[in-house]
Chains A and B, each alone.
Chain A
Amino acid sequence: MLLIPCPYCGEREETEFHHGGEAHIERPKNPDAISDEAWADYLFMRANPKGIFLERWVHDAGCRRWFNMARNTATNQILDSYKMGEKPPKGAR
């Protein structure tokens, strides 16, 4: 059981949360103008590192807010969580 540090509520058990996949993916500003490759990259291609991963979570059984987290995918060690719009913690890329 992971203990996830919600930036708003503090540490809670993982069953209160849902995972939202890779963080910091921006929808292309002008989808009509970009190539199929760039669109596929936005839609489907994902970082899948064995190591530090920046990801989104939602605390849906708590404050129901989205936030980001840096986690090591090999060990499940959580480096830190941070609010949407904030920069990832140091040491996480």
Chain B
Amino acid sequence: MKSLSKYSIFSLARNALSHHKGWGKAWRSPEPKERYDAIIVGAGGHGLATAYYLAKEHGLTNVAVIEKGWLGGGNTGRNTTVIRSNYLWDESAAIYDKALKLYEGLSQDLNYNIMLSQRGVVNLAHNLHDVRELKRRVSAIRLNGIDSEFLSPDQIKEMIPIIDTSPSARYPILGASLQRRGGVARHDAVAWGFARAADARGVDIIQQCEVTGILREQGKVTGVETTRGRILAPKVGIVAAGHTSVLAEMAGIRLPITSYPLQAMVTEPVKPIINTVVMSSAVHCYVSQSDKGEVVIGAGVDGYNGYSQRGSLPIVEEQLAAVCQLFPLFSRLRIMRMWGGIVDTCPDASPIISKTPVEGFYINGGWGTGGFKATPGSGWVFAHTMARDEPHELNAPFKLERFTDGSLIDEHGAAAVAH
């Protein structure tokens, strides 16, 4: 196999001379070994990030990432690519801002352009209560050392000329919070970058391999049963957003998680018309424009749980009606694609990144509708948790036992956006 070369201006020039036919593969497709030091179930962004940081920060390279489909084909490839850390509570602010800080250096760290664009994230206020809430949150977020500011309607209009701020608007805009460090990143590139960098450090990424059972002996995990045979390891971490409950059940663990379809859609590509991310919790929408020019629109979750990666049509109708009220010119756009991903939600809208009653079995899930923005931070703390068999202080509050001892981290609506 050709060794992985570093991407640089020189490798680009060198490969240009051979008409770009000489680029090696970005990662291997190895056969699973009989035994690893750790297995990660799920090759999405979070799982691949976990493997990368296990290798980089903890020297654990005999690691397999097992994926039932293709890497990055779940929620990593289905989200609306928004990144932000404007969370109300200290615990959330700390972990999401860790993720944002890692994102800020990730292209260099991975030697892979994740196309991070810190174009700002705007959260709209539509009534007086929203205004008071957002002002409170702006202050709380700043107290945690995270950038946040409040915008007047005039400032919003100046920043986003196509938004309807007239007093007669169906959803009047009375203000907004802005996190300038927020923005978007290329979601596929995040998965691919982590996959390539983890692979380069010796991690085996095994695709088309579904886990069908969690092997245990005397309360300890010993490996996994898969469609490609039995693979042994003393540590198994599941990072399979959407299907966390299904995998946990294989280890006899009941979770406070419910899975829902969450939809998103893109319009036909148009010239640049919006240069930031706009979110509104009241009408459940978030909007940004991709580098290709498509307007990316995120919807709210479905009204009932399920695993169909399609979502229900009434949600789409509500969604587009609201978006066209906020941005009247969008009524002329045509929707090109729409899709659904399965998000697993917790009662307190915060994730579970935790040890479990089964020794050597770890869970990272329950990210609800907002996992993408946490990808590097999630992997970073989960690698720590798996390598040392104890949580990092950043993820210690996100333990499974919080539902028993009552220390919930109630982010419902606290982050000024639908969860």
Selected contact of B243 from candidates A14, A43, A50, CB within 8 Å = A50
| Interchain nearest-CB distance for B254 vs A (Å) | 5
Is A89 interfacial (CB 8 A cutoff)? no
- Give the dominant DSSP class at B's interface: loop
Within 8 A of A (CB), among B242-270: 243, 245-246, 254-259
On B, residues with C-beta under 8 Å from A are 243, 245-246, 254-259, 303-308, 312-314, 344, 347, 403-405
On A, residues with C-beta under 8 Å from B are 1-2, 14-15, 18-19, 21, 36-37, 39-41, 43-46, 48-50, 53, 55, 71, 73-76
Q: Are B257 and A48 in contact (CB under 8 A)?
A: yes
| Interchain nearest-CB distance for B69 vs A (Å) | 15
Selected contact of A46 from candidates B243, B257, B304, B404, CB within 8 Å = B257
Q: Which chain A residues lie closer than 8 Å to B259 at the CB level?
A: 48, 73
Q: Which chain A residues lie closer than 8 Å to B304 at the CB level?
A: 19, 55, 71
Given contacts A48-B245, A50-B307, A76-B306, are A14 and B256 in contact (CB under 8 A)? no
Sampled A-B contacts (10; CB under 8 Å)? A1-B312, A2-B312, A14-B312, A19-B305, A39-B404, A44-B403, A45-B256, A46-B258, A48-B259, A48-B305
Given contacts A1-B313, A15-B314, A48-B259, are A41 and B307 in contact (CB under 8 A)? no
Beyond A49-B246, A53-B305, 8 additional pairs, beta carbon < 8 A: A1-B314, A2-B312, A44-B403, A45-B403, A46-B255, A48-B255, A48-B258, A75-B308
* A6, B219: Cα distance in complex, Å: 45
* A50, B259: Cα distance in complex, Å: 9
Interface centre among A1, A18, A43, A48 (most CB of B within 10 A): A48
Residue of B whose beta carbon sits closest to that of A39:
B404
Given contacts A19-B303, A44-B347, A48-B305, are A36 and B405 in contact (CB under 8 A)? yes
